[in-house]
């Protein structure tokens, strides 16, 4: 013979069901509602409103009742480096130049007359040297300057009217270029001698100074 046990009291069972439903509902509400939103909505003074005027200075609007104290970070100022000292040049007295140039030749030590050249006497009449001798006398330079001229052009060309140099110098006075002597420069010794003496007179003053330049520099 079998027997059936009586079920739990209906009142207790109903209470347990209600409790379980309440717990489940609490969990649903806990995860469905943002807890932070409550705190945020609870105060309208949560943060001040910052408004920047376009193109102007920044401004700060603070809602009523909020703290109005504003602090700014500190800063430091670094001094710029000191400027470099300005060096003022000291004037130095220039010493007399010992150099030479074509436009201002320097005479030999003790004057151009200190240079010794052969003095063979007056040239043969009608010779190229005689033409030059007569011209030197016409300049008023004297016979000794003729001897300086004789030595100079002996060195430059051997008194050859067609003497040429790879540099382009030409003729008895070795004009550079030869064409500067003018019409007849290639073969006329008179043209060449006349130009040569004019050049010496204009640049050096005398054949003595021209020879001194040739002695010092190797050219005149």
Residue 147 near residue 119 (C-beta atoms within 8 A): yes
Q: Shortest CA distance to 161 belongs to which of 127, 125, 199, 119?
A: 127
Distance CA 41, CA 45 (A): 10
Whole-structure pTM value? 0.51
Q: How do residues 169-198 score in pLDDT, each as one tens digit?
A: 999 999 999 999 999 999 999 999 999 999
| Band (9; pLDDT cuts 50, 70, 90) | low
Q: Which of 139, 121, 115 is nearest to 209 (CA)?
A: 115
| pLDDT confidence tier of residue 16, bands split at 50, 70 and 90 | confident
Give the pLDDT score at 19. Answer: 75
Confidence grade of residue 65 (pLDDT, cut at 50, 70, 90): low
């Amino acid at each position: 013979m079998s027997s059936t046990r009586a079920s739990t009291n209906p009142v207790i069972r109903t209470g347990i069901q209600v409790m379980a439903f309440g717990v489940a509902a609490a969990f649903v509400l806990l995860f469905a509602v943002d807890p932070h939103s409550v705190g945020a909505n609870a105060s309208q003074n949560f943060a001040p409103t910052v408004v920047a005027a376009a193109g102007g200075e920044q401004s700060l609007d603070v809602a009523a009742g909020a703290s109005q104290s504003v602090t700014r970070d500190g800063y430091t100022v670094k001094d710029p480096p000191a400027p470099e000292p300005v060096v003022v040049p000291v004037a130095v007295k220039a010493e007399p130049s010992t150099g030479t140039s074509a436009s201002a030749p320097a005479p030999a030590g003790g004057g151009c007359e200190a240079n010794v050249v052969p003095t063979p006497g007056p040239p043969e009449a009608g010779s190229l040297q005689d033409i030059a001798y007569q011209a030197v006398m016409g300049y008023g330079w004297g016979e000794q300057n003729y001897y300086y001229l004789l030595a100079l052009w002996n060195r430059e060309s051997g008194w050859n009217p067609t003497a040429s140099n790879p540099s382009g110098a030409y003729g008895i006075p070795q004009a550079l270029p030869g064409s500067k002597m003018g019409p007849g420069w290639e073969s006329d010794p008179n043209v060449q001698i006349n130009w040569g003496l004019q050049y010496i007179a204009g640049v050096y003053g005398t054949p003595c100074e021209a020879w001194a330049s040739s002695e010092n520099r190797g050219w005149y």
